[in-house]
Structure 1
Amino acid sequence: MASRARVRAPELIGKGGWLNTGGNDLTLSDLRGRIVVLDFWTFCCVNCLHVLDELRELEERHRDTVVIIGVHSPKFVHEADHQAVVDAVERYGVEHPVLDDPELVTWKQYAVRAWPTLVVIDPEGYVVAQHAGEGHAHAIGTLVEELVAEHTAKGTLRRGDGPYVPPEPVATDLRFPGKAVRLPAGTFLVSGTTRHQLVELAADGERVLRRIGTGERGLDADSFNEPQGLALLPGGKVAVADTVNHAIRVFDPVSGTLETVAGTGKQWWQGSPTSGPARAVALSSPWDIAWWQDRLWIAMAGVHQLWTYDPASGTVAVAAGTTNEGLVDGPAAEAWFAQPSGLAAAGDRLWVADSETSAVRWVERDTDAAGDADGGGEGDGDGGDGGYVVRTAVGTGLFDFGHRDGAAGQALLQHPLGVTALPDGSVAIADTYNHALRRFDPATGEVTTLATDLREPSAAVLVDDDIVVVESARHRLTRLRLPEEAVRVESVAHRTQRAATEVAPGALRLDVVFQAPAGQKLDTRYGPSTRLLISATPPELLADGAGAGTDLARDLVLADGVTEGVLHVSAMAASCDDDPAVEYPACHVHQQDWGVPVRVVEGGVARLGLVLAGLDAE
């Protein structure tokens, strides 16, 4: 096999310590003789959750030779809390050791720039590959097989059980519930995300009446895979966002039947269809759903978009968003979202909890749009029968968050996952990482706090004069009286704590490194196989170089007078198996978004390298 750079892997260090090891600390010397895959992740990141699922098969197939180590590297302040990491490891079924690195020590040692990033270490302790983003499991699997053969021949491979020790199970009626809906009979249907079930609770919100689903991951007539959003449909059935199955299901509370109405069970990738027969079009991590304007609207967290499902025609289509991650308002087809995770229909508005921008936004008819829309073609963003526009109520972007009440323009949230329409036209916000229930009033433009000391609230349901909150990390529903006046809290503001890269004024060369994995080549059969999209916050940071292109390298020009900001870089590459004997080779998509904080200083670097797949970008 081809020679590789001999880079000694830095030690694994994290102030938070180790999880899933039975209380033992691990070092790289403990892992010598095994192939180690480091997964740099953070639990807010839907792309990281995709990679967790990609790695499950690899983990099982090579259990005696490969050790996967999660390195939890937080973005939000809440994610640096050790108990929150413990909860996330259980919530998402992580079955390998995890290093809690709240101060990003190991992240910095490995020069990681993006969530998620995978690093492969050979049995002798050397780094042999680094991959940013999703879609690399096939390449890593191929590399693992090569390393097994090489180190078996050298006598340096050690087989056997890994260091994973499962935690003791905890008995609770609910375990990390996601969303809830009130059924016509007055009972509650709750998505039991971690246990892959729906749970019906009595009207008191406590007593379990029945469980729907086997409790095992699956996509058949009696199973789910980390279900989240629920929506009551006309007629009394309930739509379910079956998140990790990438599907929309419909449950009939009367007959108990479960039907898949949208999605193929596979994850959507760039270049896949974005409209058509609902069972023939792939989805990507649908997180919440809401019935609005005669359609089921889908918060497609995995691709930063809103989609719709029309049961009358049995079709799905993109309704808003471009797949670019960020906060951009305007016509629905041009708007940017960042992991929309909560929806609430309220008359002429659809409220959206846009979690990664710590924002609350809404969709409404675009009264300035022409009235002769064509009826909902692919990607037109009109939901099927007229133009829509996206606006922001609270939030400023990907890297600003906190807990601040007051005027919406300066108020701050922290990764909200749910919104609930209130009778007076305002909206309650499940401000998840602030452990709070907040309220935005469009009439006054004010944000207030309704309740604190919740634990990762992820949704809420209105019941008469009360609001029932899904306290996900307390594994329960909590009933609160809606107060006449909000509770004021002390303001706290944060920015993502990642060191800014010091760059020189003027010209800046940006290179995204992509090396096709062993046995693959770039797929150029239908034109360019790569894509690069660059923007900045603030937009004035870039005097030249913003926009889309097919070359993975670009010369940027930083504007005079702007001393700091964030470069947003989105890269995609497609590769296919390189075997002339195979008529229809398997193809693979590799993609990643980066937000790179930069500070413009004399003497800074004139080149910025980012690794999509390879060894070294410097």
Structure 2
Amino acid sequence: MCASVRNTGAGRRVGLLVGRSRVRAPELRGRRWLNTGGAELSLAELRGKIVLLDFWTFCCINCLHVLDELRELEQRHADVLVTIGVHSPKFVHEADPDAVEAAVERYAVHHPVLDDPELVTWDAYAARAWPTLVVVDPAGYVVAQLSGEGHAHGLDVLVEELVAEHEAAGTLRRGDGPYVAPPEPATALRFPGKVVALPGGTFLVSDTAHHQLVELEPDLVTERRRIGTGERGLSDAPARFSEPQGLLLLPEPVAAAAGYDVVVADTVNHALRGLRLADGAVTTLAGTGEQLRTRVEVGAGAGELSSPWDLAWWQDRVVVAMAGSHQLWSFDPATGVLTVLAGTTNEGLRDGPRADAFLAQPSGLATGPDATLWVADAETSALRAVAPAPAAGAEVATAVGQGLFDFGFRDGPADQALLQHPLGVAVLPDSSVALADTYNGAVRRYDPATRTVGTLARDLREPSDVVVDGEHLVVVESAAHRLVRVPIPASTRVDAGAHRVRRARTDLSPGALALRIDFTPPTGQHLDTRFGDPTSLTVAASPPGLLAAGTGTAPGLDRALRFAADGPGEGVLQVSVAAAACDDGDGVFAACHRYQQDWGIPVRLVDGAPAELVLDLRAVHEG
């Protein structure tokens, strides 16, 4: 599962697993190397350096968080630490070499990257989830393996310890690393993200990789003005952004009262910004620049955000697609209050009341004339719908999509149709829904009246947003660094096949299965038991018929499961766990931390295979 492990605690060297023999780091093998000037790297030639392997895939919001977290660590230890990204794809599109190269540029990856489309190195290191971080010491041994995000502090401590140890032993080698910067690109826009039509016929586009907003004339090429310095940062005067995405033009009365016209999802700053069109003034509306690291329930408010990706106006509020926490939030321009609208923070596809629904990296929003809120739910390759229900709150339903592990390019009845990581959505004049089906390079159309899916346009390069412009759609063709117009034709039927996530399966015994989560709080912390069991374990399966018993959410880190005797024999176990630990010594005033991870584990039932599955919530492997 993309973003299948999420850690929201402060990192330290924790969870030592003693009694294991030292493990020599397997060699790095893949299709090719990027950011090395054409050279191939080996761990042997990196001996004497501390090597940090970052197993990532570019669809994964948690992987993108880790890229940002590692920047300061890489700079601080530049003479001793070599970070190597190992790109291990989830989606078919992510195995395309041009797409990988574009992603490395798009997300400003400033370290060598091994392109590993066949998951050779992934399997060699027994990675189970994106992102996974592995530390190799200067002698070439694996000393740590951590899943999820939030480990920057712990990695910093570990690197300092390894530097002291190996400098004393004479086995540390200082000096420049093997990173070679690629040539600087030269296009007017660079990986634009989202677009909104402005009064007067112009268009405002988020020029994401340039960290700016650009107002374009109706020809979609001529620039009227740029907003922002182009330097990554968070400031209002001068205006600085960090990979902005979603844009929303407020209704005129609301804008007049608020003092700004456009709300901007400033994604990597984890902030909402306000733009006044008259003079280009920018105001920070919400967010501190720090990523939200705690779980926030539906109805509650928060001061920090987590990768806001898109925006829509719905029920007199700004709705925020909070991709980083797998939720929908609302923002009130009149009061500045942020509250959670839908989603539990569990990543997945589950319909129902907004407080119980699972979302998966929501990345596109649009409102229909019947007050339906449409959501491009990227990681489940799904189109979701949120309907207002005053008596019970918003209800979440799935229009198109099968789940975290099924995707493809197929038109037809909605319950059989397949998408691949859609990022944008718009409502057409006939109330049908257009989708920027990003990894299929297409614009798709869902008709709620007939519950069918068709294709409006193909052969686009990572379309990330769509907006209606008369009889045309304006499409953000992100990987082509441009906006294009396409007519709104009658849909044409496509069936290019179905796909499932390609990962090595874990063999387990049929019948009973003992699931155990290993969790050791960091040094100086303890499990917070003042108000009961501070842990929560959620188990589900895809397909649901894989498990006969043990699904659902309950406290505890152990669960007795049972595979269905007449079940499919293989599938995916979805496991989500959370635990709270507090600092020692401060009583009721101690700072507390939440640790959470999600796993999606492909399994196959084989007689004689293990009847126990152990997962590490936070583990450092040492020899």
C-alpha offsets along residues 83-115 of structure 1, whole Å, 9 cap, x if unaligned? 111111111111111111000000000000000
1:196 maps to 2:200: no
Is the Cα contact below 8 Å between 2:296 and 2:340 reproduced in 1? no
Is the Cα contact below 8 Å between 2:298 and 2:343 reproduced in 1? no
In structure 1, what is the Cα distance between the partners aligned to 2:580 and 2:137?
26
Shift of 1:301: 0.7
Relative to structure 1, the CA distance from residue 477 to residue 422 in structure 2 (aligned partners, 3 Å threshold; closer, same or farther) is same
In structure 1, what is the Cα distance between the partners aligned to 2:297 and 2:156?
27
Equivalence for 1:167: 182
Is the Cα contact below 8 Å between 1:567 and 1:595 reproduced in 2? yes
In structure 2, what is the Cα distance between the partners aligned to 1:295 and 1:147?
51
In structure 2, what is the Cα distance between the partners aligned to 1:582 and 1:561?
52
**Tell me, which stretches of 5 or more residues in structure 1 are unaligned?**
371-385
Shift of 1:271: 4.1
Task: Please show how residues 115-134 of structure 1 align to structure 2 within 5 Å.
Answer: 115-134=130-149
TM-score by length of 1: 0.92
What secondary structure sits across from 2:194 in the alignment?
strand
1:424 maps to 2:430: yes
C-alpha offsets along residues 155-198 of structure 1, whole Å, 9 cap, x if unaligned? 11111111111111111010000000011121111111111111
What fraction of aligned residue pairs are identical, expressed as a percent? 62
Equivalence for 1:377: none
Equivalence for 2:286: 262
Equivalence for 2:10: none
What secondary structure sits across from 1:150 in the alignment?
helix
**Residue 353 (structure 2) aligned to one of 312, 316, 331:** 331
Shift of 1:134: 1.4
Equivalence for 2:317: 295
Shift of 1:588: 5.0
Task: Please show how residues 186-335 of structure 1 align to structure 2 within 5 Å.
Answer: 186-221=201-236, 222-235=239-252, 237-271=261-295, 281-335=303-357
Which amino acid in structure 2 is aligned with residue 500 of structure 1? R
Which amino acid in structure 2 is aligned with residue 155 of structure 1? G
Relative to structure 1, the CA distance from residue 572 to residue 148 in structure 2 (aligned partners, 3 Å threshold; closer, same or farther) is farther
Shift of 1:274: 6.6
What secondary structure sits across from 1:28 in the alignment?
coil
Equivalence for 2:380: 357
What secondary structure sits across from 2:309 in the alignment?
strand
Shift of 1:529: 4.8
In structure 1, what is the Cα distance between the partners aligned to 2:613 and 2:184?
46
Is the Cα contact below 8 Å between 1:283 and 1:300 reproduced in 2? yes
Shift of 1:210: 1.4
In structure 1, what is the Cα distance between the partners aligned to 2:597 and 2:528?
20
1:413 maps to 2:419: yes
In structure 1, what is the Cα distance between the partners aligned to 2:529 and 2:403?
38
What secondary structure sits across from 2:66 in the alignment?
helix
C-alpha offsets along residues 323-356 of structure 1, whole Å, 9 cap, x if unaligned? 1111111111111111110000112111100011
1:465 maps to 2:465: no
What secondary structure sits across from 2:418 in the alignment?
coil
Deviates more, 1:168-177 or 1:258-267: 258-267
In structure 2, what is the Cα distance between the partners aligned to 1:516 and 1:162?
34
1:502 maps to 2:525: no
Is the Cα contact below 8 Å between 2:550 and 2:559 reproduced in 1? yes
Is the Cα contact below 8 Å between 1:179 and 1:230 reproduced in 2? yes
Relative to structure 1, the CA distance from residue 297 to residue 547 in structure 2 (aligned partners, 3 Å threshold; closer, same or farther) is same
What secondary structure sits across from 2:185 in the alignment?
coil
In structure 1, what is the Cα distance between the partners aligned to 2:382 and 2:70?
31
In structure 1, what is the Cα distance between the partners aligned to 2:115 and 2:505?
22
Equivalence for 2:26: 10
What secondary structure sits across from 1:362 in the alignment?
strand
Relative to structure 1, the CA distance from residue 399 to residue 451 in structure 2 (aligned partners, 3 Å threshold; closer, same or farther) is same
Task: Please show how residues 458-497 of structure 1 align to structure 2 within 5 Å.
Answer: 458-483=464-489, 485-497=490-502
Task: Please show how residues 495-574 of structure 1 align to structure 2 within 5 Å.
Answer: 495-517=500-522, 519-524=523-528, 526-527=530-531, 528-562=533-567, 563-574=569-580
Is the Cα contact below 8 Å between 1:64 and 1:162 reproduced in 2? yes
Shift of 1:272: 5.4
What secondary structure sits across from 1:178 in the alignment?
coil
In structure 1, what is the Cα distance between the partners aligned to 2:35 and 2:415?
42
Shift of 1:602: 1.2
Shift of 1:266: 1.6
C-alpha offsets along residues 414-456 of structure 1, whole Å, 9 cap, x if unaligned? 0000001100010111000000011011112111111101000
Which amino acid in structure 2 is aligned with residue 335 of structure 1? A
Is the Cα contact below 8 Å between 2:241 and 2:266 reproduced in 1? yes
In structure 2, what is the Cα distance between the partners aligned to 1:136 and 1:174?
33
Relative to structure 1, the CA distance from residue 590 to residue 334 in structure 2 (aligned partners, 3 Å threshold; closer, same or farther) is closer
In structure 2, what is the Cα distance between the partners aligned to 1:581 and 1:394?
50
1:341 maps to 2:356: no
Which amino acid in structure 2 is aligned with residue 121 of structure 1? V
Is the Cα contact below 8 Å between 1:181 and 1:189 reproduced in 2? yes
1:103 maps to 2:115: no
Shift of 1:523: 4.4
Relative to structure 1, the CA distance from residue 531 to residue 60 in structure 2 (aligned partners, 3 Å threshold; closer, same or farther) is farther
In structure 1, what is the Cα distance between the partners aligned to 2:45 and 2:607?
44
Shift of 1:219: 1.2
Greater length-normalized contact order (CA 8 Å, ≥ 6 residues apart): 2
In structure 2, what is the Cα distance between the partners aligned to 1:324 and 1:96?
31
In structure 2, what is the Cα distance between the partners aligned to 1:258 and 1:537?
45
What secondary structure sits across from 1:555 in the alignment?
strand
Which amino acid in structure 2 is aligned with residue 362 of structure 1? A
Equivalence for 2:453: 447
In structure 1, what is the Cα distance between the partners aligned to 2:77 and 2:592?
22
**Tell me, which stretches of 5 or more residues in structure 2 are unaligned?**
1-12, 256-260
Shift of 1:487: 2.5
Is the Cα contact below 8 Å between 2:57 and 2:88 reproduced in 1? yes
